[in-house]
Structures are given as structure tokens and as C-alpha cells.
Amino acid sequence: MTMIPSSDATRTDAEIRARIERLTLEGKIRLLSGKDHWSTYPDVTIGLRPIVLSDGTVGIRGVRWSEEDTSINTPSATAVAATFDPAVAAAAGAVMGGEARRKGVDVVLGPVINLQRSPFGGRHFEAFSEDPLLTAQMGAAMVTGMQAEGVATAAKHFVGNESETDRLNSNSVIEERVLREAYLLPFEAVVAAGGLGVMASYNRLNGTPVVHSAILTELLKEEWGFDGFVVSDWGAIRSVVASASAGTDLAMPGPHTRWADGLAAAVRAGEVAESAIDEKVLRVLRLAARVGALDGIAPLVDRAALPTPPRAEDAAVQRSLRDVAALGTVLLRNEGGVLPLDPVTTRSLAVIGPAARTPRTNGGGSAAVVAPFPISPLDALAGSLPDVDIRYAEGARPSSLLRALTAANGRAPSGDGVVSVEFLDADGAVIGAETRDRPDTLVYGMGYPDGVPEDEVSVIRLRTRITVPEDGDYLLSAAGVGHARVTVDGAVRVDDDLVPINDDAVLGMSLPPQAIVELTLRSDRPVDVEYTYRPAPRTVAALRLGFDTAVPDAARLIADAVDVARAADTAVVFVGTSAENEAEGFDRTDLALPGAQDELVRAVAAVNPRTVVVVNAGAPVLLPWRDEVAAIVLPWFGGQAMGPAVADVLTGAAEPGGRLPVTFPADERGIPSPFPEGGDVVYREGLDIGYRGYARSGAVPAYPFGHGLGYTTWDLGEARATSTNGGIAVTVTVRNTGHRHGRIVVQAYVAHPAAGAEYAVPRFAGATACELDGGAQAEVSVTVADTVSRRWDAATGRWEPITAPPQVFVGTSSRDLRVVTT
């Protein structure tokens, strides 16, 4: 993105200040709260149109969450970080920036640049890494890619928001030095890269709510010189005077915010200075000017001059996302070279696990988007191996949340779509209606259909007719936070309140409670189902209808899978997390795969020595059977093209290019907790985050930070470190000693043994990826980041260089290093 020269910026600010002078106090304050869930107020008197904001970490939802306008679903942040290539992050950002343009979005609420401090964190699939530097590099690159498309970003969540449990009230206790050197580093990098916005988090930081904290002004805006805007996380503003006197500029969502209700009175009472209001309005209007929402001032990027953005269904988008998903896929294990599958010698293949048919392409909560129906890994493998006999078995059901009703069983009364949706007011009158095809994406609390007055909706009613292909026992579920009434052929089967696991408003999207109805159905007798839903107060209105066959006994599911695996040349078992493990609004209580998936893997491996496990998870899980299987593939939440990408990796059409941006633990001992104790989340581990903690304690992880295999072998020659313009560059000769084209990620680490125990541990300092044909060699150079050779002196309040002589290492993971120089 081209930044405005300082002289132009000064003229722009002067023009904006002149417009502010034309506003009354009420007119100014009106601009500091949202008009609705996603947009700000316009003001024609100063040439201001609404600014539209939208979530966007794996795609851009827009103002409606609906299959009627699907969104490009990029691989999760962890998958992008696994490439160790900022250029990939920038390209993913450009895709999302283009999608934001197409959907009329001005501000993308992302990326998430909090650290994966603890693998128990329920939302870590949205975060890049456990390492501050890798997070900083990937986050800054993604921001640059997005903003080149003419949109602004709001990097989140500033700061210390590494836990979901009681996130609205919890207090992150972080030592100043640790805060500076680790958790603020990614935000500092994004600001330096020209990021236009920051989102202030829900949590308190060392006792003070972030939205009230002086850190927003004294550090972010003054010390770092950040001239962008600060938006609150949704509903984070819970006071008038304290928050308005701090550095947050825009309170979302609207229209009923604390500022809208009480800020004018606080100014008139002298409790908040009007100059503070003017400063906030300046920053909001500066944002408007930069994205083209303020008449008469040229935006940073002329959107009209950019190419028309593609859509999620476009072949070029699918191909690009497929390549990125494969590039971020990590091959954790490959004993005996079982992968890639040989299409000549492989005559039969067992494919096992529900994720083979319905993979998780993104996590739950505000990150999720509605993508086109993806090609499943099972179908992609069938297309890649047309001459192979492929047999499928379900194997396990790891989620209690039923699969969504589809057109295979459901039909709306009109005959079009799967369900009809009616919106009723308090008197029971229908004030709007639509037909939907995917009743797992019925999220209305963040935007109702055009013409439906949100404030008047009291009840949402779904209707469908269910048919089944054969007689048998089935399960129907109605989910959502609120009151549910379900009738089947007129008979009331549910009439009860559905209560979530906690009071976080987002649980309606992430993990809605459900009522289950057992049905015995005949193939020749359809049944009419009506689900009447009354949203609970102060929650996101979201509901879903689920339908499936009755759950077989777990032992029977495993036995059927074993039968299929025993008869196959190779067995590929898909395991993973569910919406009950990884989603916004709660943290994980353990790292085990849910349900009987561990038992399934062990049972299959016992009858087929060529067992490959594909782990469909967005963050670390325990793999207790890792030494019992031939291969382990980790595609993360790989986006809408994950299925074909997995097939490409398994068959060797693509190299598994990823390396772990986060440590996979062997067990749960010694892992930092995300759970508040007496309201406090204490960052006791200090700088010993992830692999640093393992190095200091001597504990051995299952798979270390930076680890990843490929389909060829490599040799690293002698390495040398040289000074370059005040920094250090590590140069090493790499040779592909195999016969296949491959990718290696050369990683540099730095330690300062004389600077204290925390700095004696080798810390990630940079990486360079290199691709070579078999037998080829090249010289690879890694630039060591200067941030690894400084530390924060809390006594003086400034950065100090670490003058102790550094040790410089090079290798292919945090536990595979050689000393280059001291």
C-alpha cells in the first residue's frame, strides 16, 4: 500500500478538522458509535457515508452470514503461518482484501495477532503461532496484502487476549518486559507496516480494562506514532467516562452503546474533555478518508482502478487456495515412505472418519464464513485415484452436535430450498420470510434480510418436510440459545429453554445448545417439522436444524472401520476436533481428540501397518498413537480447497510444504493454563512460550516448533554468519539429495547465553524457504531479525541492546540446530 506523503497527510487532517468544526457535540458523538452491528453513521453535512466493518480472518463474511452470497474461505492463520513465508500471508491477505471490496466492506476486523500461548486456547486456529517474531512477520504481511486492496485492517485483539474463558472480565497479568518482548511485538510490527486500525480487547491488562488503559494512547498512539483508529471489540465498552478518556475511538456495535447513551452528558459535566472527542472523531474521519468514505478526499487506494475481485466459486480461486493449503500442510511422520501413495501399486484404499466426508475448513465463531460446498477429501481422493478401489467407513462420531439437515432429507414447504424461515414480531405477525438451503448457517443476530426490522423480530420459525431413503431410527436436533419449540406432524416434541455453557453471546454461533428428538421414520411417510425459536436476550440470534441416522454403538463403528481397513492396501484415517473443542467463546479443557477417535486409530493401525492419519485440527492435539502409525498429515483447517489439497499431498501431486508454527506436546504436563484463577490469567511462564519452555525445562514434545517432513531428503552444508548493515545474515548451502522436487525451510535461531537463562534458549530469528529439484543445490540466506538482540529494561523504560555475544544457529526445527558462530 502506498502511504500518503506527510505533507498530504497534514493537508488531509486540516480539511478533516475543518469539517469537525461544523459538527455539534451530538453530531460528533454520533460518529463514535456504530449505527448497527456492522456499520457507522453517515453525515451528509460533511460528506461522510457509512463505514462498513466485517469479520475476516479466514474470509470476509460481509454483513450477512448466508449461503446466498458465499465467501472465499482461506486456510486458517495457523495453516498460513506453517508456510513460514510472509509472501504467502500477503497473498492470502490480498484474496481477503479483494473479497472485502466485492462485499462492500471497508474495514476487515483482523488478522488475529495474539500468540498461541497455550494449546488449550479455544480460538488459536485464528492465531498464527506461539512465536512472537513469526506472528509479527506473518501478521504484518497479511495486513499489507489486505490493505493493498483499498481496505483497512483492525489487527486484534490488543492486547493479552490469549484466553477465551470469561474473556469479558478476565485480567491478564503480564510482566512489562514480557509484554513488550512477546505480546506487543506483533502489534508493533503491524503498526510499522502501515496498519490502519487496531481492535481493543475485552480483557483487563494488569488490572485495567484495555479499553480504559493508557497503553492505547501512551504506547500505541504516542510512542509508536500510530495515527490510525482503535475500535472496541464488540460490546467491550462498558463505561462512559473511563473508556472515553482513553484511546478507543469507535464503540461497536451500535446503536445502543454506552457512549451513545451517556457521552454527551459526561462532556457537558466536564467529566470528559471535548478535545478528547475531537481527537476520536479525527481518527474516525481519517479512516473514512483513507477508505474512500469521505467525499472530496482521495483514498489511499483507488478501488475503481483495481481489477474486479473473483468469487469463491471461480476456478482460479480454487486453484490458488488449493496450492496454499498444500503448502501449509505439515507431514509430521512418514515411516517407510508410505507416502506419497503409489497409484500403480495401490489397488485398494480404506478411507475412514467423518472428516473425510465433511471436513472442518474453518473454526467456529466470528472467524467462520459460508463457503461454497467444498469437495471432500473422500471425493478428491476418488478423483485422483480413479483406478483404486476406495471403501469408506464412518469409524467415529466425535461431535454431539448433529450434522446439518440437507437437501437429501429436507425440503421447504414451498418446494424450494431446505427450510423456510419466517420472522415474527411480538404479536406473532410475520414481518419477513426467506428460504434457506443450509440450516447450519442461520445466524441473524448480526444482520437480518433486507426489509426485516431487526428490533421488531421476536421469534424465528423454521419449517421443513423430512423424508428418508429407508425405514429406521433417526435423530432430529434444534439448536440455538433461547427457547425452542419443535413439533413433528403437529405433535410437540420439544418445548424448553436451550442454555449455553456460558454467558458469552457468541455461543449461539460457536457451540449452540441443542435439543434432540428421536424419530422412527418410514421411507414412504414424510414428516413435517416446525421449529419455533425465541432468541435469548443479549445473545446472537443463531439457530440450526440437524438430522442424522441414530448413533450406532461406538464399538460397532470401530469394528466396521477395522473390517474395511483390514482388506485395504492402505488405510487413511481422518480424525480431528469439532465445534465443541475449537471455537470462539471457550477454551479447551483437554487436548485429546474428542470421542473414540484415539481408539479408532489404534484399532485400524493394529490391522493395517500402512495406516496414514490425517489430523483435521486448527491447533495442537495429543497424538498418543503417533509411533503406531505409518504417517501423520496435518492440514489444519485448510479452507474451502482443503479436500483437493489433502488428496494432492497424499498422492504426491503436491509437496507437504508446511512446518509447525506451534509445538505439539507429548502430554499436558507443564502447559500454561488459559483459565482464570480468581479472575486472573497469570502469564507465569514469562518468555518461555512454546518451544522456549520445552528447551528450558528439558521436556520433549511430540513434535517441535519448526518440524515438518517432505518427500525428498536434504543436506545442509557449512553455514556462516556475516554482518549486514548492522544486522546478521546466516548463509548455508542446501542440497536436495533425493530424486523429487522438494521444499525446505531453513530456520535461524539466536541465543545469548551470558544475558540470563531466558535468553540462553535459542529463539526463532528468521527463516527462508527454498524449493529445488532432486540433485540440485543452492545457497540460502536468512536475515536475522534485530528484535532478538534487544530486551526491555523496565527500570529505564526503554529498549536496550543485548551486548552479550550471541550464538547463531541454523537448522530445520527448534530441536534440529547446529551452531554457526558465536
Quick check: is 307 in a domain? no
Residue 726: the pLDDT is: 65
The residue from 272, 300, 328 where one domain ends is 300
Do residues 333 and 192 both lie within one domain? no
- Grouping H, G, I as helix, E, B as strand and the rest as coil, residue 319 is helix
Cis peptide before 255 (omega within 30 of 0): yes
Strand partners, 486: 494, 531
Angstrom distance (rounded) from CA 405 to CA 579: 17
Cis peptide before 340 (omega within 30 of 0): yes
The number of angstroms, rounded, from the C-alpha of 603 to the middle of its chain's C-alpha atoms is 33
Name the strand (E) or helix (H) holding 86.
helix 86-102
Residue 170: the pLDDT is: 97
DSSP 232: E
Do residues 96 and 220 both lie within one domain? yes
Residue 130 grid cell: 506461539
Residue 552: the pLDDT is: 87
Quick check: is 305 in a domain? no
Angstrom distance (rounded) from CA 819 to CA 817: 7
Residue 372: the pLDDT is: 87
The number of angstroms, rounded, from the C-alpha of 494 to the middle of its chain's C-alpha atoms is 34
Residue 66: the pLDDT is: 86
Do residues 138 and 173 both lie within one domain? yes
DSSP 573-595: EEEE--TTTSBTT---S--SPST
Do residues 672 and 685 both lie within one domain? yes
Quick check: is 655 in a domain? yes
Residue 78 pLDDT more than 50? yes
The 514-521 sheet, strands edge to edge = 442-443, 542-549, 472-480, 514-521
The number of angstroms, rounded, from the C-alpha of 292 to the middle of its chain's C-alpha atoms is 28
**pLDDT, tens only, 680-708:** 999 999 999 999 999 999 999 999 999 99
Residue 7: the pLDDT is: 55
Do residues 391 and 250 both lie within one domain? no
What average pLDDT is seen over the chain? 95
**CATH code for the domain in which residue 438 is found:** 2.60.120.260
Do residues 560 and 528 both lie within one domain? no
**CATH code for the domain in which residue 746 is found:** 2.60.40.10
- Give the residue numbers spanning the domain of 397: 315-401+552-691
By residue count, the chain amounts to 822
Residue 9: the pLDDT is: 80
Do residues 421 and 560 both lie within one domain? no
Judge contact between 421 and 460, C-beta under 8 A. yes
Do residues 386 and 337 both lie within one domain? yes
Cis peptide before 159 (omega within 30 of 0): yes
Residue 624 pLDDT more than 70? yes
The residue from 274, 300, 326 where one domain ends is 300
**pLDDT, tens only, 478-535:** 999 999 999 999 999 999 999 999 988 888 888 999 999 999 999 999 999 999 999 9
**CATH code for the domain in which residue 208 is found:** 3.20.20.300
Residue 682: the pLDDT is: 98
**pLDDT, tens only, 29-54:** 999 999 999 999 999 999 999 999 99
Four-CA torsion 113, 119, 123, 128, nearest 10 degrees? 30
Do residues 536 and 562 both lie within one domain? no
Query: Which one of the listed residues 55, 85, 106, 233 is annotated catalytic?
Result: 233
Residue 774 pLDDT more than 50? yes
Cα distances from 621 to residues 357, 464, 641, in angstroms, run 21, 38, 23
Angstrom distance (rounded) from CA 796 to CA 501: 45
Quick check: is 393 in a domain? yes
DSSP 179: I
Name the more confident of 460 and 3: 460
Residue 6 pLDDT more than 80? no
Strand partners, 435: 420
Do residues 265 and 229 both lie within one domain? yes
Residue 441: the pLDDT is: 84
* Rg (the chain; Cα; Å): 27
The residue-averaged pLDDT of 777-781 equals: 97
Quick check: is 700 in a domain? no
Residue ranges in 476-587 assigned as alpha helix (H): 507-510, 554-566
Do residues 685 and 817 both lie within one domain? no
DSSP 40: B
Name the strand (E) or helix (H) holding 138.
helix 132-147
CB atoms within 10 A of CB 801: 9
Angstrom distance (rounded) from CA 164 to CA 552: 33
Quick check: is 5 in a domain? no
Residue 367: the pLDDT is: 86
Quick check: is 575 in a domain? yes
Which band of pLDDT confidence, cut at 50, 70 and 90, is reported for residue 3?
very low
**pLDDT, tens only, 107-166:** 999 999 999 999 999 999 999 999 999 999 999 999 999 999 999 999 999 999 999 999
CA-based nearest residue to 621, from 593, 596, 600: 593
Which band of pLDDT confidence, cut at 50, 70 and 90, is reported for residue 1?
very low
CA angle 545, 547, 553 (to 5 degrees): 135
Task: Tell me whether strands 208-209 and 197-200 are parallel, antiparallel or unpaired.
Answer: unpaired
Angstrom distance (rounded) from CA 817 to CA 489: 67
Quick check: is 10 in a domain? no
The residue-averaged pLDDT of 231-249 equals: 97
User: How many domains does the chain divide into?
Assistant: 4
- Grouping H, G, I as helix, E, B as strand and the rest as coil, residue 298 is coil
The residue from 531, 549, 567 where one domain ends is 549
**CATH code for the domain in which residue 680 is found:** 3.40.50.1700
471 has catalytic annotation: no
**pLDDT, tens only, 567-594:** 999 999 999 999 888 999 999 999 999 9
Residue 446: the pLDDT is: 86
Do residues 248 and 162 both lie within one domain? yes
Angstrom distance (rounded) from CA 363 to CA 585: 12
CA angle 713, 133, 177 (to 5 degrees): 140
